[in-house]
Amino acid sequence: MASNLLKNIIKLDTRVSVSQNVCLPIRCLSTASPRVKDKTGKNIVFVDGVRTPFLLSGTDYAPLMPHQLAKEALIGLMRKTNVPREVVDYIVYGTVIQEVKTSNIGREAALAAGFPHSVPAHTVTMACISSNQGITTGIGLIAAGAYDVIVAGGVEFMSDVPIRHSRKMRSLLLRANKAKTPLDKLKLLSTFRPNFLLPELPAVAEFSSGETMGFSADRLAASFKVSREEQDQYAVRSHTMAKEAQDKGYLTDIVPFRLPNSSKVIEKDNGIRVSPMDKLAKLKAAFVKPHGTVTAANSSFLTDGASACLIMTEEKAKQLGLKPKLYLRDFTYVAQDPIDQLLLGPTYATPKVLEKAGLSVKDIDVWEVHEAFAGQILANLKAMDSDWFAQKYMNRQSKVGVPDLSKWNNWGGSLSIGHPFAATGVRLTVHTANRLVREDGQFGLIAACAAGGQGVGMIVERHPDATAL
């Protein structure tokens, strides 16, 4: 079963399976699905989402600050939806690697984007699922009756990350700031040692284990017997599908970004590269050297980018004359062992969110699953196809089930489009929405792993008024 699964997923096939249960020219949809209950009583909808182009860190965005990217995403969202800023009640924005000058980046970006001073904003962080957390926090605020209109999103800026002095040096500087006399300062200076100057560099690593995520991915791939060739084939699949979606004009969530003090306008993602297998095979292991299977080509790359989306009650959307893309039906967060099961969030989240919504794997028309590493994706697919894994680790009698891989990440994913940590959740959601329209589907499932052994699963349903633009 698993071998057939891998054979299917590595095919560079862009054909889409369409359910037979359709009403031409589009599937029959209703505002009150008989199969999925609205638990909030408010039919909360995802109106639309946008993002800046996702760029490799160290490229065109390098001279900027993260709040500038977030600002452009917020402005782009308001322009695309034609919703006045004054209508927004609250902003929830995500980030992972924080710029210390703008610690509440949601507020700073909102002010820079021209939102009224009276619109509150707060910043969330949940690693790679931070903007998912922004969306679901917004759902909670609306469901509680606190607000009607929420903007959620996220930004990541890996071109310029905070680098700290060592703890010893920080302590010395803080004490020096309190020293009152020249003698006190001289005494402190006498305690200085050259090794105090060694900086603390940020790393994509687990605090609890000290292990880098790439090392964890390599170990996970080995545990599930995912070969180097399979990982490279999956990476080629992701880049090929992303390039086709880009060429066909499907990535309508992108808002062009005009670089400040420049005439240059960035209009597309710059990390999409379709390379031949023989070129990928020449790359050396990136983490477990020399025999590891995770390389730079089959891993997501450090990316700069921002995203934003608009959610509200369906009633409010109608009042504003908007055409939502999705109903936000259900969600769940999961957490596992951050060492051995760090990247298995989709496997754990998928059955939980399906059961909450009363759906099965076969009911899902569009899958959008975060690709941290090709090995991580393939390991999750093998875990979902394993009765043994389900019984031993998930307290389930049988396996989760194999998704229809003709409906899986058909426009590429984080491996090819890029992965600005806190911005990816909105990208997954709007791609799900637009694919549901183009592929004539009803239900979508969004899933992602995150640092700390956590993960998310979300069920969305296409709105009858949805368009892919």
| Catalytic residue list | 128, 449
Q: Residue 40 and residue 410: Cα distance in Å, rounded?
A: 31
Q: Residue 235 and residue 402: Cα distance in Å, rounded?
A: 20
| Strand partners of residue 200 | 164
| DSSP code string of 251-270 | -TTB--EEPTTSS-EE-S-S
Are the beta carbons of 352 and 373 closer than 8 angstroms? Answer: no
Q: Residue 448 and residue 376: Cα distance in Å, rounded?
A: 11
H/E element holding 120? none
AA identity, residue 439: E
Q: Residue 394 and residue 345: Cα distance in Å, rounded?
A: 12
Nearest partner of 73 among 102, 94, 97, 56, judged by Cα? 94
Are the beta carbons of 261 and 268 closer than 8 angstroms? Answer: no
In 121-178, the DSSP E strands lie at 121-124, 149-156
Q: Residue 55 and residue 303: Cα distance in Å, rounded?
A: 6
AA identity, residue 289: K
**Helical segments of 200-327, H only:** 213-223, 228-247, 277-281, 314-319
**Cβ-based neighbour number of residue 95 at 10 Å:** 30
Q: How far apart are the first and last CA of the chain?
A: 38
Are the beta carbons of 67 and 105 closer than 8 angstroms? Answer: yes
If phi > 0 it is left, if psi is from -120 to 50 it is alpha, else beta; for residue 464 that is alpha
Are the beta carbons of 322 and 464 closer than 8 angstroms? Answer: no
Token couple for 375 = 């090995």
Helix axes 228-247, 374-384, angle to 10 degrees: 110
